Amino acid sequence: MSQNPSFELTLTRRIAAPPERVFDAFVAGDQLSLWCAPRGMTVPKVALDARIGQGYRLTMEARDHTTFTVTGEFQELERPTKLVYTWQWVDDAMPALETRVRVVLKPCDEGTELRLTHSGFHDPGMRDAHLPGWNSSLNRLVEMLDPRGTAANLALSGDPRSTYTWSVRIALAEKGLGYEMVQRAPHSPEQVQLHPFGRIPALRDGDFILFETSAIVRYLDECFPEPTLIPASVRERARAEQWVSAASSYLYDAMIRRYVLQYLFPRGTDGQADLAVISAASADIVRYLAILDDAYGEQSTIAGETFSIADLVLAPIIDYLALAPGGQELLAGAPNVRRALNSARSRPSFQETHPSIKATA
pLDDT in the model for residue 361: 44
**Whether pLDDT at 3 is above 60:** no
| DSSP bridge pairs for 12 | 115
Alpha carbons 87 and 333: distance in angstroms, whole number = 64
| Greater model confidence, 269 or 83 | 83
Backbone phi, psi, residue 111, to 5°: 145, -75
Mind listing the pLDDT tens digit for each residue in 148-162?
999 999 999 999 999
Q: What is the mean pLDDT of residues 86-95?
A: 83
| CATH 3.30.70.141 matches 151-223 | no
Q: What is the mean pLDDT of residues 290-306?
A: 96
Mind listing the pLDDT tens digit for each residue in 310-352?
999 999 999 999 999 999 999 999 999 999 999 999 999 999 9
Q: How far is CA 232 from CA 86, 239, 308, in A?
A: 40, 11, 10
8 A C-beta contact, residue 247 and residue 314:
yes
Instruction: Please give the distance of CA 176 from its chain centroid, rounded to a whole number.
Output: 12
7-15 vs 208-211, strand pairing mode: unpaired
Alpha carbons 71 and 69: distance in angstroms, whole number = 7
Element (DSSP H or E) covering residue 12: strand 7-15
Q: What is the mean pLDDT of residues 239-261?
A: 97
For 50-126, where are the E strands, in sequence order? Answer: 55-61, 67-78, 82-89, 99-108, 111-121
**Whether pLDDT at 2 is above 50:** no
pLDDT in the model for residue 358: 58
Q: Which of 113, 89, 85 is nearest to 100 (CA)?
A: 85
Predicted confidence band of residue 96 (pLDDT cuts 50, 70, 90): confident
Residue type, 275: L
Residue 37, Cβ density class (10 Å: 0-12 exposed, 13-18 middle, ≥19 buried): buried
pLDDT in the model for residue 4: 55
| Greater model confidence, 91 or 54 | 54
pLDDT in the model for residue 231: 95
Share of the chain above pLDDT 90, in %: 91
Q: What is the mean pLDDT of residues 59-82?
A: 96
Q: What is the mean pLDDT of residues 97-112?
A: 96
Domains of the chain: which residue ranges?
Answer: 7-147, 151-223, 234-353
Mind listing the pLDDT tens digit for each residue in 23-37?
999 999 999 999 999
Q: What is the mean pLDDT of residues 299-312?
A: 96
Backbone phi, psi, residue 347, to 5°: -80, 135
| Greater model confidence, 99 or 268 | 99
Helix (H, G, I), strand (E, B) or coil at 248: helix
Mean confidence (pLDDT) of the chain = 94
**Whether pLDDT at 360 is above 60:** no
User: What's the CATH number of domain 7-147, 3.30.565.10, 3.40.50.620, 3.40.640.10, 3.30.530.20?
Assistant: 3.30.530.20
Length of the chain equals 361
Alpha carbons 87 and 99: distance in angstroms, whole number = 5
Alpha carbons 146 and 241: distance in angstroms, whole number = 35
**Whether pLDDT at 1 is above 60:** no
Q: What is the mean pLDDT of residues 219-232?
A: 95
pLDDT in the model for residue 99: 96
Instruction: Write out the CATH class of domain 234-353.
Output: mainly alpha
**Whether pLDDT at 134 is above 60:** yes
